Chain A
């Protein structure tokens, strides 16, 4: 049976057409292209030729020590910064919500890193952490004051570099989370707190049994976007460790993809595409897990 196309349907699609065209040109075509690149073996960018089709690019990338290093770094970064930054943001938002005087002042202070340039922030962290011929950096001065040994955070041991990177990332993502959570807390109906107060609920119980569940949709939103953001980290690492991230052993997945395309060892769009697809698969899987968990936990 033939279905008649309704005039209203046609009109609807016509309205969508401009955005569909843009979507196709700038989103769908590149995606397909990446997919194609990733399966073309020994692709030569200059001559636009390749020798075969298969999984060689994936095999190469997965066995590339730089990629493995980048994968490890990214995972550590994600696992440390997402939970820690979310917890700190909840704490700070709770504190900001509970004060009346100077609330806006504190809100502004906590929001400042968000509007500051990544590289400028990197400079600040350099001053705090970098060891130079003239100074060991602020943090080392503090460590020395307490009788500790200086640590080279920027060019030193792996754990020190991861530490600085984590602190930096947490610090950079905090403002947005605090902003979202403070407004989420402010939108919780006062009557819940009044009811709880009359029932003699302790402030800890109010926080865990009322505030947290009420803002849980926002927390899940922040966790999901936090995961995605952390997996896509790159510029923060450049700000701290410079452009030779492989040399510093601090590369990330996005950094690896960038290097494969444009870096000194670059010119391999096939490897970059394969790595990008691997990153996409990871983010997609984790986001799916997150969504499933949040649907089960955020019940309202």
Chain B
């Protein structure tokens, strides 16, 4: 089932009268296609959890509408929307066993929908199998590891066959290794069930690796929507370019003079038909090429070898950050020493932005 948000806005009033109102979600318009896994990505406080709460119905929008397929669910209470929600801290009931936790939603059903205990147990067994926790049914949450608790939470969210699965920072309470495994697990469960899934995270790597589509947010505004690789390769603005990619993209100050783009005192490239102005030059760490005829001279401070790749830490006066990070294959890096070095760049890894952050397309 697809989810459509139309002009969705959520404004939180200031706690006291004189406090300013906070617009957590500002005029959102997007469509989450049926059966896809979509990541809401952005830094803390950008409104991604609020967006999730609006979709779940836990928060009411200030204005705008939410559709599940063609059904307007804007005023439908959460329990009637057919959603499953997994919380960051899992919110498993500590006094109930895994089985009791999983069937808790089923026990709320009344009248004709009510299932017999055997049916509930059978259903619980099915989802438990899906998330691979069949052996843990009689344990209590505190007797489980973080990853197992996570699976129980997903099982509880799935037991009513929801139309939409919502995951709020589901991996942030897990350690690094478990996070990697669990995110593959979530991907697998999503593929097997085919449920439209919305995944909230502030971790760009997590979002890139798991999602069919990214929705990148900042301060309640959508910056870019698209497939992870597309967003990475064609960032719409400086924020998106900086947010995606690890190590971060390198940003340098430059200016155009007489149709030439100059960084510090070097002509970096030709820019035909461009008026004189200041701008930002952003180059991905993997976008550098060591080249004697290169147009960017940096000063190498440190060389870190990780085996396959070599990471060069260099400085440049025009850089926004203290260091410039360059990643090249170890073969190419052979013989590099500290001191000045010349780079050229790969065209598809270099982007130009206005000072306002807007992308300059060449």
Asked if A194 and B108 make an inter-chain contact with CB atoms under 8 angstroms apart, the answer reads no
Asked if B87 and A194 make an inter-chain contact with CB atoms under 8 angstroms apart, the answer reads yes
- Nearest A residue (CB) for B94: A300
Asked if A191 and B91 make an inter-chain contact with CB atoms under 8 angstroms apart, the answer reads yes
Taken together as a complex, chains A and B put the C-alpha atoms of A213 and B78 apart, in Å, by 24
**Other CB < 8 Å A-B pairs besides A194-B87, A201-B108, 4 of them?**
A192-B91, A198-B79, A198-B83, A205-B108
Asked if B91 and A189 make an inter-chain contact with CB atoms under 8 angstroms apart, the answer reads yes
> Does A121 sit within 8 A of B, measured CB to CB?
no
Question: Could you list some 5 contacts between A and B, CB below 8 A?
Answer: A192-B91, A195-B91, A197-B78, A197-B79, A198-B78
| Chain A contact residues, CB within 8 Å of chain B | 189, 191-192, 194-202, 205, 209-210, 213-214, 216, 299-300
Knowing A210-B93, A299-B140 are in contact, say whether A198-B85 is a contact too (CB < 8 A).
yes
Q: Which 8 A-B pairs have the closest CB atoms?
A: A200-B79, A199-B105, A191-B91, A213-B95, A300-B94, A195-B91, A191-B87, A200-B108
> Does B89 sit within 8 A of A, measured CB to CB?
yes
Could you tell me which residues of chain B, from 304 to 350, have a CB within 8 Å of some CB in chain A?
none
Asked if B85 and A195 make an inter-chain contact with CB atoms under 8 angstroms apart, the answer reads yes
Contacts of A216 in B (CB 8 A): 95
Tell me, rounded to whole Å, the shortest Cβ–Cβ distance linking A296 to chain B: 13
> Does B56 sit within 8 A of A, measured CB to CB?
yes
> Does B255 sit within 8 A of A, measured CB to CB?
no
Asked if B108 and A198 make an inter-chain contact with CB atoms under 8 angstroms apart, the answer reads no
Could you tell me which residues of chain B, from 46 to 82, have a CB within 8 Å of some CB in chain A?
56-58, 78-80
Taken together as a complex, chains A and B put the C-alpha atoms of A194 and B49 apart, in Å, by 13
Asked if A199 and B87 make an inter-chain contact with CB atoms under 8 angstroms apart, the answer reads no
Tell me, rounded to whole Å, the shortest Cβ–Cβ distance linking A53 to chain B: 52
Knowing A214-B95, A300-B95 are in contact, say whether A198-B56 is a contact too (CB < 8 A).
yes
Contacts of B79 in A (CB 8 A): 197-201
> Does B104 sit within 8 A of A, measured CB to CB?
yes
Tell me, rounded to whole Å, the shortest Cβ–Cβ distance linking A295 to chain B: 14
Taken together as a complex, chains A and B put the C-alpha atoms of A196 and B104 apart, in Å, by 9
- Nearest A residue (CB) for B160: A199
Contacts of A201 in B (CB 8 A): 79, 104-105, 108
Taken together as a complex, chains A and B put the C-alpha atoms of A195 and B105 apart, in Å, by 9
Tell me, rounded to whole Å, the shortest Cβ–Cβ distance linking B50 to chain A: 13
Taken together as a complex, chains A and B put the C-alpha atoms of A216 and B80 apart, in Å, by 31
Taken together as a complex, chains A and B put the C-alpha atoms of A104 and B274 apart, in Å, by 65
Asked if B58 and A191 make an inter-chain contact with CB atoms under 8 angstroms apart, the answer reads no
Contacts of B85 in A (CB 8 A): 194-195, 198
Asked if B78 and A300 make an inter-chain contact with CB atoms under 8 angstroms apart, the answer reads no
> Does B301 sit within 8 A of A, measured CB to CB?
no
Asked if B89 and A189 make an inter-chain contact with CB atoms under 8 angstroms apart, the answer reads yes
Taken together as a complex, chains A and B put the C-alpha atoms of A260 and B88 apart, in Å, by 62
Asked if B108 and A195 make an inter-chain contact with CB atoms under 8 angstroms apart, the answer reads no
Taken together as a complex, chains A and B put the C-alpha atoms of A199 and B89 apart, in Å, by 17
Contacts of B58 in A (CB 8 A): 194, 197-198
Contacts of A200 in B (CB 8 A): 79-80, 105, 108-109
Contacts of A202 in B (CB 8 A): 108
- Nearest B residue (CB) for A210: B93
Taken together as a complex, chains A and B put the C-alpha atoms of A209 and B96 apart, in Å, by 9
- Nearest A residue (CB) for B85: A198
Interface centre among B87, B88, B140, B142 (most CB of A within 10 A): B87
Q: Select B142's contact among A196, A199, A214, A300, beta carbons within 8 Å.
A: A300
Taken together as a complex, chains A and B put the C-alpha atoms of A197 and B87 apart, in Å, by 13
- Nearest B residue (CB) for A202: B108
Q: Select A195's contact among B87, B107, B142, beta carbons within 8 Å.
A: B87
Taken together as a complex, chains A and B put the C-alpha atoms of A191 and B157 apart, in Å, by 14
- Nearest B residue (CB) for A216: B95
Tell me, rounded to whole Å, the shortest Cβ–Cβ distance linking A196 to chain B: 8
Contacts of B140 in A (CB 8 A): 299-300
Taken together as a complex, chains A and B put the C-alpha atoms of A197 and B104 apart, in Å, by 12
Taken together as a complex, chains A and B put the C-alpha atoms of A196 and B87 apart, in Å, by 12
Asked if A199 and B104 make an inter-chain contact with CB atoms under 8 angstroms apart, the answer reads yes
Could you tell me which residues of chain B, from 124 to 149, have a CB within 8 Å of some CB in chain A?
140, 142
Q: Select B89's contact among A191, A205, A214, A300, beta carbons within 8 Å.
A: A191
Contacts of A195 in B (CB 8 A): 85, 87, 91, 156
Taken together as a complex, chains A and B put the C-alpha atoms of A214 and B58 apart, in Å, by 22
Taken together as a complex, chains A and B put the C-alpha atoms of A185 and B264 apart, in Å, by 62
Tell me, rounded to whole Å, the shortest Cβ–Cβ distance linking B130 to chain A: 18
Tell me, rounded to whole Å, the shortest Cβ–Cβ distance linking B333 to chain A: 48
Taken together as a complex, chains A and B put the C-alpha atoms of A189 and B104 apart, in Å, by 18
Tell me, rounded to whole Å, the shortest Cβ–Cβ distance linking A191 to chain B: 4
Taken together as a complex, chains A and B put the C-alpha atoms of A197 and B105 apart, in Å, by 10
Taken together as a complex, chains A and B put the C-alpha atoms of A199 and B85 apart, in Å, by 9
Tell me, rounded to whole Å, the shortest Cβ–Cβ distance linking A297 to chain B: 10
Tell me, rounded to whole Å, the shortest Cβ–Cβ distance linking B276 to chain A: 55
Tell me, rounded to whole Å, the shortest Cβ–Cβ distance linking B103 to chain A: 10
Interface centre among A196, A202, A205 (most CB of B within 10 A): A196
- Nearest B residue (CB) for A297: B95
Taken together as a complex, chains A and B put the C-alpha atoms of A8 and B87 apart, in Å, by 47
Interface centre among A191, A199, A201, A205 (most CB of B within 10 A): A199
Taken together as a complex, chains A and B put the C-alpha atoms of A195 and B156 apart, in Å, by 10
- Nearest A residue (CB) for B106: A199
Knowing A189-B89, A194-B85, A300-B140 are in contact, say whether A199-B108 is a contact too (CB < 8 A).
yes
Contacts of A210 in B (CB 8 A): 93
- Nearest B residue (CB) for A299: B95
Taken together as a complex, chains A and B put the C-alpha atoms of A213 and B108 apart, in Å, by 18
Binary CB contact string for chain B from 92 to 129 against chain A (1 if under 8 A, 0 otherwise): 01110000000011011100000000000000000000
Taken together as a complex, chains A and B put the C-alpha atoms of A1 and B87 apart, in Å, by 58
Taken together as a complex, chains A and B put the C-alpha atoms of A197 and B88 apart, in Å, by 16
Taken together as a complex, chains A and B put the C-alpha atoms of A65 and B2 apart, in Å, by 81
Taken together as a complex, chains A and B put the C-alpha atoms of A195 and B152 apart, in Å, by 13
Tell me, rounded to whole Å, the shortest Cβ–Cβ distance linking A208 to chain B: 12
Contacts of A198 in B (CB 8 A): 56-58, 78-79, 83-85
- Nearest B residue (CB) for A191: B91
Q: Select B93's contact among A192, A194, A197, beta carbons within 8 Å.
A: A192
Taken together as a complex, chains A and B put the C-alpha atoms of A150 and B104 apart, in Å, by 53
